[in-house]
């Protein structure tokens, strides 16, 4: 089963809030989520990106592909460097 790590929007109109999830390629992430890894809140100053680092590394090692946005966030956080160091 091919999986993706991506953001899915939650929150109200004009108040975005995103969950970082693991979902199957065939699903849209609205209900069939495999695991919630964290969240991203762009309205805070500075924006907050909070995830479980160990679970991100686990899913990347098992072949999950991050979306471009999630890849940039985990690269800034240094998780990709931890993955390459192992």
Q: Please write the tens of the pLDDT for every residue from 35-46.
A: 999 999 999 999
* Number of domains the chain is built from: 1
Which CATH number do you get for residue 56? 3.30.1320.10
**pLDDT tens digits for range 53-71:** 999 999 999 999 999 999 9
CA gap 5, 24 in Å, rounded: 9
CA gap 71, 1 in Å, rounded: 20
pLDDT at 38: 95
Neighbour-count burial of 10, counting CB atoms closer than 10 A to its CB (0-12 exposed, 13-18 middle, 19+ buried): exposed
The range of the structural domain enclosing residue 43 comes to 3-85
Strands of the chain, DSSP E: 3-12, 15-24, 33-41, 48-51, 65-66
């Amino acid at each position: 089963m091919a999986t993706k790590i991506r953001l899915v929007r939650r929150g109200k109109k004009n108040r975005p809030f995103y969950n970082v999830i693991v979902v199957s390629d065939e699903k849209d992430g609205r209900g069939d989520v495999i695991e919630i890894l964290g969240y991203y809140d762009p309205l805070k100053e500075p924006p907050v990106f909070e995830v479980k680092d160990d679970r991100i590394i686990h899913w990347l090692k098992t072949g999950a592909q991050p979306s471009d946005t999630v890849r940039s966030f985990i690269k800034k956080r240094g998780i990709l460097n931890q993955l390459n160091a192992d």
